[in-house]
Structure 1
């Protein structure tokens, strides 16, 4: 597995987290397309932020072996990034509609 494939898996997990959040919390849903876009950006942003701590794909694939602990942490951060993006975008949307 390469670092690029790890990044794509992380983005897909972020999309999954955002769409599951939109499915269970209808109030926060932006539709399939909106949730997907939020999941991509939320996953990438949180992974880039926490990747500096050693959870990035290049650290997961070090010496041509997969560090499963770092991979699981990366997946959890991606999923949470998708979830947090939905709630953050909803709050921003409400703030903009009030003015």
Structure 2
């Protein structure tokens, strides 16, 4: 198939838009060699790589949750202490049950 036949049905008003098209320009990317991993250390062939069941995101969130909870400024109050001095507001004008 020639370039002219390929471009014949395309909606173009100016044929000069495609005048610099060359078939060889598309082959440059395919001639590149793929990148290959070359290890820098020798690991034993018997080594077994095991993937963890929990994802990295869940681990990250759990670590930050643990840090946040361990460094809380307020600790849970023991049961032996007196109850809070704060009392519920008893306004006569506001009655929830009405």
**Which structure has the greater CA radius of gyration?**
2
Structure with greater helix percent: 1
What is the TM-score when the length of structure 2 is the normalising length? 0.24
Q: Which has the higher contact order (CA 8 A, sep 6+)?
A: 1
